[in-house]
Chains A and B, each alone.
Chain A
């Protein structure tokens, strides 16, 4: 037990970094109500851009900013596929994601993996156990700032129009909102955040890998849904919803740590993740059915 508790800080830190990614997923999946698969690619893009720039001598904050911009560009491409080419959002994301695989390899000079060491660079976060609490602190600050900025943004005129586009596109157009522009903006913002998370993870693990984003969308969805199922009733405010997404990611990584300790092979992890997310995605659907049946039975009884 003590052994388990002492291993907790690492999944918490990991969960927070993936929580940043999940906030990006939240912007498309919940605010815009689009399923965007670009993230699997833009996450690795963020990591690749960061590592290449930083090892090339750039200031780490500037590198992270450029990672963010690179993610924005990826989201923009998906947005153009979706709005200008009329391709369904999910397929647009798959196209960009596939293209990004090549792009990411190019960024890393043809290598599938590029290392960055804390010995040579003053990185923000690291998985080393001796600095894990500092890492968690940095993540807390980072997430707090991110949530504050998003909370402000979605309260502005522009933010309102993006939310409205996801909520009711017909109403939005009737009120003069260019829903296509809003969708592109949402995708840009979302993938920018995702790339930023990629930059953080590459620091945390000490390398960027062309495959580091594989399955990112599933982890992001897991975080969004676990957060909603666990805290949806208490956290109604937009900022608190974002907090619950991060908490969802942390819970996800703690559960993963537990099942690995219980003997699950790391090779089987993706299978496990997919099944868990599938299960959680199904819960609201089953719930609605069960409630309906109960109501119906009661009504039948009342009639009789």
Chain B
């Protein structure tokens, strides 16, 4: 369903700060895949996601989603097919707007925005039921500014927004990394619930190896702008953190995994 063909991306090409972020990435996702992505800092994980979402243009290669070439489509047009949750909880929602207004904006993703009401009464009722599932008491605070919510609450709302409108692909960029462990676990549980319920094809970047092994049906490891391992099925189920560490050490030729990975 998603096909990434030989994608290259270099930042600040030709300058002293030149950074080859992606050097020929090939990846094919199947319908319903839940893929976890790991790799050290600067391995190209986030760049890969940003290429799919169209934050920056690709230098070379193509990205094909469900048979349509989206390589040259601007970011806001691709949004129709994609649900996104960012690492920074502030990024996924408009802090100055109300909870219901944020949800309503997501509910209109990929649709023409006219002069009809921004939120209808009927929608507010639907949002209440949706928010109730989060069990955070937000269903009674529809008119609160999102800026008043905690990081975890904002991330939960973003997750709801990302899964609205049945996206073809859900992209999670270390979406629990900025949360405290307890909240992170809650948001992660919610992620599992949403993904298994709606069977959205999902790509999740994480720094937590245990999560990377426990969640999903497939795991890919990136290093130096390339995918170096792609493990799925039974093989993935039997993986241990120590196996991943070993693979990682081998790949980075002696350089050891960074501290964040060791600690988690």
Residues in B whose Cβ lies below 8 Å from that of A168: 90-91, 93-96
B74, B91, B96, B109: the one within 8 Å of A163 (CB): B96
Contact code string B100-121 (vs A, CB < 8 Å = 1, else 0): 0100111011110111111100
A156: interface (CB < 8 Å): yes
User: Whole-angstrom distance between the alpha carbons of A170 and B49 in the complex?
Assistant: 14
Contact code string A154-183 (vs B, CB < 8 Å = 1, else 0): 011111110110111011111111110000
Closest Cβ of chain A to B83, distance in Å, is 9
Contact code string B55-99 (vs A, CB < 8 Å = 1, else 0): 000000000000000000011110110101010001111111100
User: Whole-angstrom distance between the alpha carbons of A79 and B115 in the complex?
Assistant: 21
User: Whole-angstrom distance between the alpha carbons of A153 and B116 in the complex?
Assistant: 9
Residues in B whose Cβ lies below 8 Å from that of A176: 76-77, 79-80, 108-111
Residues in B whose Cβ lies below 8 Å from that of A155: 117-118
Closest Cβ of chain A to B120, distance in Å, is 10
Residues in A whose Cβ lies below 8 Å from that of B202: none
Contact code string B196-215 (vs A, CB < 8 Å = 1, else 0): 00000000000000000000
| Contact between B115 and A157, CB atoms less than 8 A apart | yes
| Contact between B115 and A174, CB atoms less than 8 A apart | no
Residues in A whose Cβ lies below 8 Å from that of B76: 172-173, 176-179
Number of A residues contacting the other chain (C-beta, 8 Å)? Answer: 23
Is the contact region of chain B dominated by helix, strand, or loop, or is it mixed?
loop
B155: interface (CB < 8 Å): no
Closest Cβ of chain A to B121, distance in Å, is 13
Contact code string A171-204 (vs B, CB < 8 Å = 1, else 0): 1111111110000000000000000000000000
User: Whole-angstrom distance between the alpha carbons of A28 and B208 in the complex?
Assistant: 42
Interface residues of B (CB under 8 A from A): 53, 74-77, 79-80, 82, 84, 86, 90-97, 101, 104-106, 108-111, 113-119, 161
Interface residues of A (CB under 8 A from B): 153, 155-161, 163-164, 166-168, 170-179
What are 25 sample pairs from A and B whose C-beta atoms fall under 8 A apart?
A156-B116, A156-B118, A157-B104, A157-B113, A157-B115, A160-B118, A164-B101, A167-B95, A168-B91, A168-B96, A170-B86, A171-B91, A171-B92, A172-B94, A173-B76, A173-B79, A174-B92, A175-B79, A175-B106, A175-B109, A176-B76, A176-B80, A177-B76, A177-B105, A178-B74
Q: Besides the contacts A166-B96, A176-B111, A177-B79, what 10 more A-B pairs have beta carbons closer than 8 Å?
A: A157-B118, A159-B118, A164-B97, A167-B94, A167-B96, A171-B93, A174-B84, A176-B76, A176-B108, A176-B110
